[in-house]
């Protein structure tokens, strides 16, 4: 196997971490590669352990995956109506009976990929104030955004400009009007910073798309009456935290999920690294939370705490 260092995927940021996970999962599920992921202990960059010989080879695989998605679809390897088309009201945020009917329609027979996406994006184990199934804590719907448009817009940008994929791995380039699906705290530019006399958003389309592709590794279930997503930890009277480790040993996708769901992660909510973490090759633990944007009512942008 080759070991490719991906300098743009910095594990100290939630977007860099999630994009590395999404990259690994895409190659694992949709190519003949058997990738593993680790992190540099020097600069926290993602290290991809792969049968591919270069970053260009990996980019070619990713472009092939993008090209495999039907024109009226938004995800590889699943029906074009997952998630259902349209803006809010989100047709994936359904009462439990309707959600189960949709799941049966999408997959009359067991389908691991459909189950993985549904199990990440939505859960009927807890309900919102409208008695609809709750959604992933990774999502922060704003305005008319739905699960469909959350996935649709980054994919559209990647389709229109294939250079976005290589930029995601080697050097980020920010684009005006790109929200980054609010997984990137640096997306916000105020009037002074933007140089345009007004605030604007500048996200990284390729990295955003890769990050969204990590979601099947982050399952959404429930804790009591509230949804809980892999990596997230609820705190009493404080905002929820997304807590994730960086590790030195190469891990496959199953091991990554197991690590994120390890009971030890609960001990890391305060930013402390247990001594036992060394056994799992963990060398640092990072924390992130949603930060409210003045004048906006949605959950906010995901930014690092430590």
The pLDDT value recorded for residue 191 is: 41
The pLDDT value recorded for residue 192 is: 42
Q: H/E element holding 233?
A: strand 232-235
- Residue 8 counted as domain residue: yes
- Residue 136 counted as domain residue: no
Residues of the chain with pLDDT under 50: 191-194
The pLDDT value recorded for residue 294 is: 66
The pLDDT value recorded for residue 186 is: 84
- Residue 300 counted as domain residue: yes
- Residue 29 counted as domain residue: yes
The pLDDT value recorded for residue 116 is: 98
- Residue 270 counted as domain residue: yes
What is the residue range of 51's domain? Answer: 2-73+145-214+231-304
- Residue 85 counted as domain residue: no
The pLDDT value recorded for residue 270 is: 86
Using an 8 Å Cβ cutoff, are 38 and 55 in contact?
no
The pLDDT value recorded for residue 259 is: 96
CA distance 162 to 172: 13
For the CA atoms of 50, 56, 62, 67, what is the dihedral angle to 10 degrees? -140
- Residue 120 counted as domain residue: no
Question: How many domains would you assign to the chain?
Answer: 1
CA distance 125 to 111: 20
**Length of the chain, in residues:** 306
- Residue 102 counted as domain residue: no
């Amino acid at each position: 196997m080759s070991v490719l260092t991906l300098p743009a995927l910095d594990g100290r940021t939630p977007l860099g971490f999630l994009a590395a996970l999404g990259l690994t999962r895409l190659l694992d599920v949709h190519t003949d590669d058997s990738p593993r992921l680790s992190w540099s202990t020097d600069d926290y960059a993602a290290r991809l352990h792969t049968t591919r010989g270069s970053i260009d080879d990996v980019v070619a695989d990713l472009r092939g995956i993008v090209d495999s998605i039907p024109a009226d679809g938004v995800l590889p390897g699943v029906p074009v109506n997952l998630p259902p088309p349209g803006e809010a009201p989100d047709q994936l945020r359904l009462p439990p009976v309707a959600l189960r009917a949709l799941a049966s329609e999408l997959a009359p027979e067991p389908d691991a990929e459909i189950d993985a996406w549904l199990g990440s994006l939505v859960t009927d184990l807890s309900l919102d104030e409208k008695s609809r199934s709750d959604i992933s804590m990774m999502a922060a719907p704003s305005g008319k955004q739905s699960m469909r448009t959350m996935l649709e817009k980054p994919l559209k940008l990647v389709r229109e400009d294939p250079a976005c994929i290589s930029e995601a791995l080697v050097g980020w380039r920010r684009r005006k009007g790109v929200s980054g699906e609010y997984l990137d705290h640096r997306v916000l530019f105020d009037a002074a910073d933007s140089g345009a006399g007004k605030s604007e958003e500048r996200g990284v389309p390729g990295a955003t798309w890769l990050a969204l592709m990590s979601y099947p590794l982050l399952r959404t279930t429930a804790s009591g009456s509230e949804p809980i997503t892999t990596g997230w930890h609820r705190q009493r009277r404080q905002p929820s935290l997304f807590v994730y480790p960086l590790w030195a040993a190469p891990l496959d996708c199953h091991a990554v999920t197991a690590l994120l769901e390890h009971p030890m992660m609960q001990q890391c909510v305060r930013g402390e690294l247990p001594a036992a973490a060394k056994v799992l090759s963990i060398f640092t633990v990072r924390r992130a939370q949603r930060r409210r944007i003045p004048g906006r009512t949605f959950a906010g942008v995901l930014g690092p705490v430590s």
